[in-house]
Structure 1
Amino acid sequence: MTTLAATAVLASGAMAMAPAAGAVGSSKCNSNFSNTDFDVLKSNASLRTGPSSNYSSKGHLAKYTKFYYYCEYTTKSTSWYYGKILTGAHKGTKGWVYAKYIGLRKP
């Protein structure tokens, strides 16, 4: 996992490091059902480091990219799925995708 931190130069010329916003894995999940293969149903859906648009994007996913679902984070107003990308440019990458963008492709 790559962690980034912000660096600032203080008035005295010294440098200060701000803590990085870390990625959130399955520890954020509050709901789980059997592991399932889904499809990304929206072009350019963001793959994120955590379950919110406030988390960094790891990249964008093409429509019909295969997504292996592990678990989800759900509140009264939103749901995010955590899983692993199985196809495409981000194959093998784990991350979060907004649940409304994930589903089963209709034949």
Structure 2
Amino acid sequence: MRTSIKRGVIGLAMAGLVATGVATELTTAGPASAAPGHYGASACNKNTVNKTYKMKYSDVQLLWGPGTQYDSRAGVGKGKKFRRYCSLYKTPGQYGWHYGKVLTGANAGKKGWIYGANMRAA
């Protein structure tokens, strides 16, 4: 009985938010295209030494998560620097996904994921 009352109250509260337009702002605030979610260092499975890399190619994508199913957060140009904080290796012996921060270029300061094959040691 309590659960159904609680759901009813929550439903009414949400209906009021939708009517005032607040729910729209709540759902669109932040990275709207970060489906299925975005992940920081908590997704890493290897704590690597912080190291600076340069991009090998033009327009390397900085992603919201460790995989191509995640949306792009920003483009990182050839030669731009990226500081790796940690890594996620899905298959041993293959390039991994690296979480870190862009250090140079138009998107300096943004954090996200870059695939290891796109980088070389600075």
TM-score, reference length from structure 2: 0.68
Superposed structure 1 runs of 4+ greater than 2 Å apart: none
CA displacement, residues 10-69 of structure 1 (integer Å, 9 cap, x when unaligned): xxxxxxxxxx53210000000122111111111111100000010010121100111001
Unaligned runs of 5+ in 1: 6-19
Looking at secondary structure, tell me which structure has more strand per residue: 1
Unaligned runs of 5+ in 2: 1-28
Secondary structure at 2:97 match in 1: strand
2:24 corresponds to which residue? none
Contact kept, 8 Å, 1:3 with 1:22, in 2: the verdict is no
1:94 pairs with 2:94: no
- Equivalent residue runs for 1:1-107 within 5 Å: 2-4=30-32, 21-76=36-91, 78-105=95-122
Q: 1:3 to 1:58 in 2, by over 3 A?
A: closer
Number of aligned pairs? Answer: 91
Contact kept, 8 Å, 2:95 with 2:117, in 1: the verdict is no
Higher alpha-carbon Rg: 2
Percent identity of equivalent pairs? 35
Deviation at 1:80, TM superposition (A): 0.6
TM-score, reference length from structure 1: 0.77
Deviation at 1:83, TM superposition (A): 0.4
Looking at secondary structure, tell me which structure has more helix per residue: 2
